[in-house]
Amino acid sequence: MSNNRGLFLTFEGIEGAGKSSNLDYAKAIIEASGKKVTVSREPGGTEVGEKIRAVLLDPNLPAMHADTELLLMFASRAEHYQNKILPALNAGNWVLCDRFTDASFAYQGGGRNIDVNRIAALEAWALGNFKADKTFLFDLPVSVGLSRAKARSEADRIEQEESDFFERIRNSYLMRAIVEPNRFCVIDASQTMEGVRGQVERAVEELILKRIE
């Protein structure tokens, strides 16, 4: 990795965990340190990816096979990685992404029970060895996340699932954080907005300092 390459930071968690709010907060801190930031999201992030996202989240579509859902996530991701993430990192930007591959392991693996080896094969096929430099996992009880998400907007196709589905997703994320403790930074997202921001600020400032040293 060249020294001029930016860092790739991903924001993960169940619905209503506060990923989007804190991504904006992290962006402001990183920009204040003088770095250029590209913000993106998955599924989506590119013109093609946003069309795939619309299909994936459409609450009016009939049930989609879990394999179809997974393949669409990776179709969106391949486009995103090749045409947006890599060029931005190579230009020296830090890339902040609302969800990435860990979401496929958590939602399609944990939630939909797809064998994780099949997901890992797709990951290797689409991304090679590419991974996030740091993944912020916003962790909180499912009931709290779902009530925050419900208070904010109508449920999309995936949000209409039962709470068991989200419990499996939460567990799957936490297991991944245990397996890769250096990449993951687990944030206690059940705290107040200020409390969560404090945790994000400390973690992001540490990353900025490490990059300067």
Residues of this chain that interact with ligand Z5A (CB under 6 A) are 13, 15-21, 42-43, 73, 98-99, 103-104, 107-108, 148-149, 152, 156, 158-159, 192-193, 196
Least distance in angstroms from the C-beta of 71 to ligand Z5A = 11
For residue 185, give both structure tokens: 């930074």
Select 131 or 148, whichever has its Cβ closest to ligand Z5A.
Answer: 148
Least distance in angstroms from the C-beta of 39 to ligand Z5A = 13
CA geometry: angle at 185 spanning 183 and 191, to 5°? 165
Whole-Å CA distances, 131 to 42, 85, 134, 150: 14, 11, 9, 31
What's the first-to-final CA gap in the chain, in angstroms?
A: 16
DSSP 8-state secondary structure symbol assigned to residue 182: T
Bridge-partner residues for 188, per DSSP? 139
Pairing of strands 37-41, 94-98: parallel
Cα–Cα dist 120/43, whole Å: 18
Least distance in angstroms from the C-beta of 210 to ligand Z5A = 26
Select 20 or 83, whichever has its Cβ closest to ligand Z5A.
Answer: 20
Least distance in angstroms from the C-beta of 209 to ligand Z5A = 25
Least distance in angstroms from the C-beta of 21 to ligand Z5A = 3
DSSP 8-state secondary structure symbol assigned to residue 52: H
Cα–Cα dist 198/209, whole Å: 17
